[in-house]
Amino acid sequence: MQALNLEVPAAGYRIPEAPWYGEGLGLDSIDILEVALIVSKQYGIQLRADSQENQQTFPFLEALAEYIAAHRTK
């Protein structure tokens, strides 16, 4: 993820159901926060840390892409 300066192999992005944490993309909670900030700025979506939607929004990349498509304002 270039915007985050992460060393995730490109192959990881090609698996839309790869989990964000652990064996998937290997992101931690700070990385997820940075993703949320970038999504907010880029697409006009307000993501809150205390939102109940987060577990459905962030389990894997495909779910986030679907959420952005449905809620983007930019």
- Tell me the pLDDT of the chain (74 aa) as tens digits: 456 666 655 555 566 677 776 677 777 778 878 888 888 888 998 887 777 777 766 777 788 888 889 988 88
Q: Residue 45 CA to chain centroid, in angstroms?
A: 12
Tokens of 13: 């992005």
State the Cα–Cα distance between residues 40 and 49, nearest whole angstrom: 12
Taking the whole predicted model, whether its pTM rises above 0.75 is answered as no
- The alpha carbons of the chain give a radius of gyration, in whole angstroms, of 12
DSSP 19: B
Q: What angle do CA 9, 14, 17 make, to 5 degrees?
A: 110
